[in-house]
Structure 1
Amino acid sequence: MTLIADGLKVDPNDSPDRADGPKRRAGRNDTTKAAKGNSRIRRDIEGLRAVATFLVLPYHAGLMLFPGGFVGVDVFFVISGFVITGQLMKEVDRTGRVGLLGFYARRAKRLLPAASVVLGATAVMTWLWVPKIRWETTGGDIVASALYFVNWRLADRSVDYLAEDITPSAVQHYWSLSVEEQFYFVWPILLLGAVVLAARLGVRRKPALLVGLALVALPSFAWAVHQSFFASERAYFITTTRMWEFTIGAFVAILATRLDRIPKGLAIVLAWAGLGMILLAGRIYTSEITWPGYYAVLPTVGAGLMIAAGVAAGPKGPVAILGNRFMLFIGYLTYSLYLWHWPLLIVAREHFGGISVLTGLVIVTASVIPAWLTFHLVENPLRNSKFVGNTKVSLSLGVNCTLIAVVAGLMLVALFGKAAGPTIDPANVKGSMALSASSPKDDPAGEPVDSVQGGITPNPLEAPKDVPDLYAEGCQVDSDVAEVATCEYGAADAKTTIAIVGDSKAAQWVPAFQVLAKTHDWRIVTYTKSACQFSTATSVLDGEPYDTCREWGGDVLDRLTGDEKPDVVVTAGQRDSALTGDGDDMSEDTMQAGLEDAWTQLRDAGIEVVVLADTPQTGSDVYACVSEHQDDLTQCTYDRDHGVEASGVGVQKAAADELGAVDISPGAASDSGAGDTGLYFLDLVDAICPTDECAPVIGNVLVYRQGSHITKTYIETLAPRVEEALAKAGVR
């Protein structure tokens, strides 16, 4: 489950708990006085917004007093469902219809100006204080936020293996705004359809609406439960898994006229129980649970109960503690607080390389200042303006605010492109070939230096794009998929077929084989899956058994020993432990046994197996460091021994030795290829990190992209070394 969760407040002055939904009178600027002075305000709901805010903001700052503080967003969704449905129901009762343009105009006037101000400010802050490597992604996120589809962009990124090292975006919190806006767009249309259908069928309106509500809520809830288990990262952001939360508030709004009839004693119990359910969820839940699934029932139903029973409970209900001046003040500022706190936190973290919990709390507290200014200088003046009250003007205002935010994001993307600049033609750089061909270890050409003459390729800002072609061709299987996907390179009728099998650490070597396939009669077939070591053992991903990896690996093994049998299998991987037989512990011995089993089955089928040693773990985003320190590259090195120890090479070597593998690594004692066991071990770490401190740039080529992965360009310069090693194994 992602660690990011945010909330959204709808305009309190449009709340359905008012008798006729009046707007605030112009000139009343003090939020506490406004709340206190209007008896039609549901002060318990304003206070509930504050409760949700106090769950979310400290959680984002890193304070784990409420480790499930992310439930605040779910509370806001329930409130929004109640507020919006109540507005629409009153309009239907009054006019018999829903004025869609008027509704969208009110939403545009209320939400878009402040949101665009913060998006523009975030673009400026990112340009001033965030490393350039983040500009393009953040700019794209700003555009998506302005157009209210960033939640889908984040959902796609959450399952994109190549985006694993992208830090939380400065506008990532706009995902919940996007969900809200999509709800605002769809819900009035669905409600209007239900009203029209009820009139034509001659049935009562409210029962028809409740049936329509169930037709939305039940599939959405079922989908949320399903997705939370099978695609939890994506499930967190997408709208379809959140719609049922809005329907809880909508259900309360439809029954609003009957809720004051709840017996007072029962109402008091229900209202306090609802608040307790919210706080309990915030306290006992953690980021380790899958979300949103059935766990989300606790805070959302709690919010629904509190809203439903609040009126009948009266002063003995939660309003006794939620209706004070301070809680009302925070309740009114919630929207602006929501907008401002997150970009301030992220910009500070990016600029300083991390911040303490105390600093985070100070930033969250200080966000009250821009929130207060935005509330009084942007939100209130526009909301109270008679001129902007015109539907056409409101819609025009919304469109223009959106365009301003889009331009701000596009400018950030353009600035990134300008900063990235041109790269050197890979044909003009040496990369690993700058090192000694026979003994790269300790070659001075591989020692770290502060700067390099002639430039670096790929440009560090473009490093995440310097990846094997198979990613763009859809041949790297995602973690939640078990189906096998392959890519083929070289001549289809080649005499020798080489299969490359494993995780992304295997996939990174494909460019070298593509180079060699051009000069050899080789056909290259890829079988790769994210974070999936090619083993018959069961590994773990995100704390859960990686079942799709086991299924995928079994299918691949059947294919390789069956109709798709190659001449050679080249395999690599990072995972060094797997679940033991009882499934309770992780063990390197279990992974070793799984590797040996898979390799033995291949050998028994008459296939030669080449095990490519895992590349060292860098422990940092080297390319990001290089992008900021091109004149001080020694800041971007890492310790070789630590990197090797943290990689999967140890368990690979142990398994290879147990099966009597021939070591075909450069300089290995057995480099003659004697002992034809059909299993070979190839370790090229000396050509990747020749010295005790691993250099980020060798031969004018950037060695690393995301995490410990090697850039496509540097891998291609390793092709001659791979060719020489395979020749020792008889692959010519």
Structure 2
Amino acid sequence: MPLTLGSRTRSARADRREEGRWAYRPDIDGLRAVAIALVVVYHVWFGRVSGGVDVFLMLSAFFLTRGFVRRMTGPAPVRPVAHLLGLFRRLVPAASVTLIGVLGVVWAVYPETAWRPVWEQTWASLTYSQNWLLAADAVNYYAPTETLSPLQHFWSMSVQGQAFVLWVALLGLCQYVVRRWGLSPDRVVGVGFGAVFTLSFIFSVAWTATAPQAAYFDTGARLWEFAAGSLLVVALPHLRLNGPARSILGWAGLAGLLALGMLVDVRGGFPGFLALWPVLCAAAVVAAGAGDGSRGPARLLASRPLRALGRDAYALYLVHWPILVTYLVVNDRADVGFVDGLGIVVLSLVLARALTAAIDRPVRAWRRDDASPVVPLAVLAAAVVAVAVPLAAWTTTTGARERAVEARAQLLNPGAAVLRDPARAVPSDDAPMLPLPTLLDDEWTQLERECTGDWATDAEELIGTCGETPHTARAHRTVAVIGDSHAQQITAALLPTAEAKGWGVVHLIKGGCSMGLDEPGMDERCDSWREAAIRLVEQVQPDAVMTVVTRSDAGEDEEKVRPGVDRFLDRMTAAGVEVIAVRDNPRFDFDMFGCVVEAADPLDCAVPRSASLAESNPAEALARPGVSLVDLTTSICPDDLCVGVIGNVAVYRDDNHLTRLYARTLGPSLAEQLPATVG
């Protein structure tokens, strides 16, 4: 049956739409420019998240899917493995150059306390696992937070890299189904990624509501944003919008994207349903530019300045954050002004242009006629080695220095022992202060052996919070340390006596959850954890429990008994368990370790004892049979002055926690105050 004029016209329009579907879209380059501009502006001046990263995630899947769908039914289908190697061959070199630059800057100007976190994050960035490291830190009470990380922004590239691997596998599977059974590529891709979108979006909303900090970095909670880009590819040919409708849609999308960061602080709600805002806005802009006409934002986005910025978007994302963080660290500031921020932006633009011209563009332009994987593998290997070699050399030489210093520590770093025997004092010039800044993260006392025997429990609240020393099950006496991080830190002072006398020590520790039963915890699950921990102690009945019963706060109300700790003591007394009630140590409104490292004289960091502690121990009001008070104040703040270094050992690891090394040197002072019923 011959085609009518109308059918021929519709067929011609369909052909034009199909051809235009694969055409170069300069307006999308401009959209990338808008996204990176939002990211940089909000990072530099507002310290907020703009939604620009979400646009990048969606667009990356859009281009990846479009390349696959275009070739699924053709004579030259995509080879998934080769395609994946090509993707990383283009991404890794520029990222590696950035990592090398960051390592050099950190070595030159950052405090040594920042070195180890940067080492860990460099490996994580290089292996596209940075998001998982940050997700773990987001829910880790003990994660270091003193210094900003110049590599934190690599989380999104890690998510993108992981999604690329999954997407290439899924698209390869879709391609196989299409070619094997002759199905429509759009239909197969639409069904497959529609399922991914649905499952990931449900997970994202639920996980964001439950644990927003961890969800922010979770790949599974972000996959629906990638899936939205894939679905947009198969939806575009089926959109039927006239010129005015496209214009309204495009301008509305662009305006919504620009307004997001101003109207919503997205850090608490992403990537849940709030992330639909930037994703749908970006999709609207892409859809609006998919047809004829110029009244929408496509002409603006396709302008030469925006296309030029879009060309450098990847490099600009790589360099702007390390420059910003380095400025803040070097100048010891929490934010930047307009002029300084403008300087950061200009420097970022210059370095991004250089990185694109010298690395990104040549690597992207490098092509070979054969299908051998040798070239991309060689490029990837060279890029990885270029980072791994100097990083390994740096960590190895630093580790050797650390081991040499620790080998001499017993003689040259006596800590609190000098207060008992001044003859042990060592001139500070003879040895470095311990702990070394690069080992500060190790200054938590951890009993990593999971509880066994009577202490083993199936209580969900206690999972991961109960640890013990070796041979606890066979020990003739056992002391349980229970409470928050301040109870945990004082365990180091108990261990020397426990080791000498063969005691078992059990940790029931949850950061931010003291045994002040009426004290608000830093975790909403503190109340249920406390109850489960107390029940376990009541069940096992150790020889004693030790906890911190007062709280000191710098610059606030003076030291007080923790609210509700008397009810904890009542329960222990009723269970026949001796309580070792420890007085809290002083706290400060600054990082004491950072101060003594930077100060010409550590005494410049000293604070009067009265600035944090009460004149007399508030815990004296808790004295009763079965409760023994322990006050180590004179060994922490000798001569009524709280200093940051004693006996060549740093007393504090931050603004309120004792270092493990110093706490251990408090062992003799603690032993003298332990009840006779325990010893």
Q: Is the 8 A contact 2:519 2:562 kept in 1?
A: no
Assess, with a 3 A threshold, how the Cα gap between structure 1 residues 590 and 723 changes in structure 2: closer, same or farther. Answer: closer
Q: Which residue matches 2:174?
A: 194
* Deviation of the 1:497 alpha carbon: 3.1
The correspondence for 1:633, drawn from 590, 593, 602, is 602
Is the aligned partner of 1:568 residue 2:553?
no
Q: Distance in 2 between matches of 1:335 and 1:306?
A: 20
Q: Which residue matches 1:97?
A: 77
The correspondence for 1:340, drawn from 319, 337, 362, is 319
The correspondence for 2:290, drawn from 301, 311, 314, is 311
The correspondence for 1:456, drawn from 424, 433, 444, is 433
Stretch moving more, 279-288 or 247-256: 279-288
Q: Is the 8 A contact 2:116 2:438 kept in 1?
A: no
Assess, with a 3 A threshold, how the Cα gap between structure 1 residues 152 and 593 changes in structure 2: closer, same or farther. Answer: closer
Q: Distance in 1 between matches of 2:415 and 2:574?
A: 38
* Deviation of the 1:287 alpha carbon: 5.8
Q: Which residue matches 1:702?
A: 650
Q: Which residue matches 1:112?
A: 92
Is the aligned partner of 1:517 residue 2:498?
yes
* Deviation of the 1:279 alpha carbon: 2.8
Q: Which residue matches 2:509?
A: 528
| Deviations 1:568-591 (CA, angstroms, capped at 9, x unpaired) | 2211278789xxxxxxxx999999
Q: Is the 8 A contact 2:483 2:548 kept in 1?
A: yes
Q: Is the 8 A contact 1:505 1:574 kept in 2?
A: no
What is the DSSP-based 3-state SS (H/G/I as helix, E as strand, rest coil) of the residue aligned with 1:487? strand
Q: Is the 8 A contact 1:162 1:706 kept in 2?
A: no
**Structure 2 unaligned runs (5+)?**
1-16, 453-459
Q: Is the 8 A contact 1:506 1:573 kept in 2?
A: no
| 1:157-176 correspondence runs (5 A) | 157-176=137-156
Is the aligned partner of 1:47 residue 2:30?
yes
Assess, with a 3 A threshold, how the Cα gap between structure 1 residues 461 and 244 changes in structure 2: closer, same or farther. Answer: same
Q: Is the 8 A contact 1:74 1:300 kept in 2?
A: yes
* Deviation of the 1:205 alpha carbon: 3.3
* Deviation of the 1:288 alpha carbon: 5.2
Is the aligned partner of 1:122 residue 2:102?
yes
Is the aligned partner of 1:411 residue 2:378?
no
Is the aligned partner of 1:423 residue 2:371?
no
* Deviation of the 1:17 alpha carbon: 11
Q: Is the 8 A contact 2:32 2:310 kept in 1?
A: yes
Assess, with a 3 A threshold, how the Cα gap between structure 1 residues 642 and 506 changes in structure 2: closer, same or farther. Answer: same
* Deviation of the 1:723 alpha carbon: 1.5
Q: Is the 8 A contact 1:49 1:334 kept in 2?
A: yes
Q: Is the 8 A contact 2:551 2:562 kept in 1?
A: no
Q: Which residue matches 2:481?
A: 500
Assess, with a 3 A threshold, how the Cα gap between structure 1 residues 468 and 53 changes in structure 2: closer, same or farther. Answer: same
* Deviation of the 1:419 alpha carbon: 5.6
Q: Distance in 2 between matches of 1:691 and 1:286?
A: 48
Q: Which amino acid aligns with 1:323?
A: A
* Deviation of the 1:453 alpha carbon: 4.1
* Deviation of the 1:725 alpha carbon: 1.3
* Deviation of the 1:697 alpha carbon: 1.8
* Deviation of the 1:76 alpha carbon: 0.9
* Deviation of the 1:623 alpha carbon: 3.3
What is the DSSP-based 3-state SS (H/G/I as helix, E as strand, rest coil) of the residue aligned with 1:530? coil
What is the DSSP-based 3-state SS (H/G/I as helix, E as strand, rest coil) of the residue aligned with 1:469? coil
Q: Which residue matches 2:120?
A: 140
Q: Which residue matches 1:598?
A: 568
| 1:214-253 correspondence runs (5 A) | 214-253=194-233
Assess, with a 3 A threshold, how the Cα gap between structure 1 residues 363 and 701 changes in structure 2: closer, same or farther. Answer: same
| Deviations 1:319-370 (CA, angstroms, capped at 9, x unpaired) | 2543333222222211111111111122222333236333234212221111
Q: Which residue matches 2:457?
A: none
Q: Is the 8 A contact 2:55 2:278 kept in 1?
A: yes
* Deviation of the 1:403 alpha carbon: 2.0
Q: Distance in 1 between matches of 2:90 and 2:262?
A: 33
Q: Which amino acid aligns with 2:83?
A: F
Assess, with a 3 A threshold, how the Cα gap between structure 1 residues 450 and 59 changes in structure 2: closer, same or farther. Answer: farther
Q: Which amino acid aligns with 1:234?
A: A
Aligned length: 648
Q: Which residue matches 1:470?
A: 447
* Deviation of the 1:152 alpha carbon: 1.9
The correspondence for 1:434, drawn from 407, 418, 424, is 418
* Deviation of the 1:85 alpha carbon: 0.9
| 1:4-15 correspondence runs (5 A) | none
Assess, with a 3 A threshold, how the Cα gap between structure 1 residues 391 and 327 changes in structure 2: closer, same or farther. Answer: farther
| 1:381-396 correspondence runs (5 A) | 381-386=362-367, 392=373, 393-396=375-378
What is the DSSP-based 3-state SS (H/G/I as helix, E as strand, rest coil) of the residue aligned with 1:163? coil
Q: Is the 8 A contact 1:268 1:313 kept in 2?
A: no
What is the DSSP-based 3-state SS (H/G/I as helix, E as strand, rest coil) of the residue aligned with 1:509? helix
Q: Which residue matches 1:31?
A: none
Assess, with a 3 A threshold, how the Cα gap between structure 1 residues 638 and 55 changes in structure 2: closer, same or farther. Answer: farther
What is the DSSP-based 3-state SS (H/G/I as helix, E as strand, rest coil) of the residue aligned with 1:240? coil
Is the aligned partner of 1:712 residue 2:660?
yes
Q: Is the 8 A contact 2:549 2:562 kept in 1?
A: no
Q: Distance in 2 between matches of 1:522 and 1:152?
A: 38
Q: Which residue matches 1:642?
A: 611
Q: Which residue matches 2:9?
A: none
| 1:644-659 correspondence runs (5 A) | 644=613, 656=619
TM-score for both structures, normalised by structure 2: 0.86
* Deviation of the 1:170 alpha carbon: 1.8
Q: Which amino acid aligns with 2:678?
A: V
Q: Which residue matches 1:610?
A: 580
Stretch moving more, 491-500 or 249-258: 491-500
| Deviations 1:494-515 (CA, angstroms, capped at 9, x unpaired) | 4543221101111112222221
* Deviation of the 1:661 alpha carbon: 1.9
Q: Is the 8 A contact 1:537 1:590 kept in 2?
A: no
TM-score for both structures, normalised by structure 1: 0.80
Q: Which residue matches 1:683?
A: 631
Q: Is the 8 A contact 1:139 1:410 kept in 2?
A: no
Assess, with a 3 A threshold, how the Cα gap between structure 1 residues 362 and 247 changes in structure 2: closer, same or farther. Answer: same
The correspondence for 1:362, drawn from 334, 343, 348, is 343
Q: Distance in 1 between matches of 2:588 and 2:370?
A: 57
Is the aligned partner of 1:209 residue 2:209?
no
Q: Which residue matches 2:4?
A: none
| Deviations 1:272-329 (CA, angstroms, capped at 9, x unpaired) | 3322332332122226514322221222222222222332474222225433332222
* Deviation of the 1:592 alpha carbon: 4.6
Q: Distance in 2 between matches of 1:218 and 1:364?
A: 38
Q: Is the 8 A contact 2:72 2:179 kept in 1?
A: no
Q: Which amino acid aligns with 1:515?
A: P
Q: Distance in 2 between matches of 1:576 and 1:466?
A: 21
Q: Is the 8 A contact 2:18 2:237 kept in 1?
A: no
What is the DSSP-based 3-state SS (H/G/I as helix, E as strand, rest coil) of the residue aligned with 1:524? strand
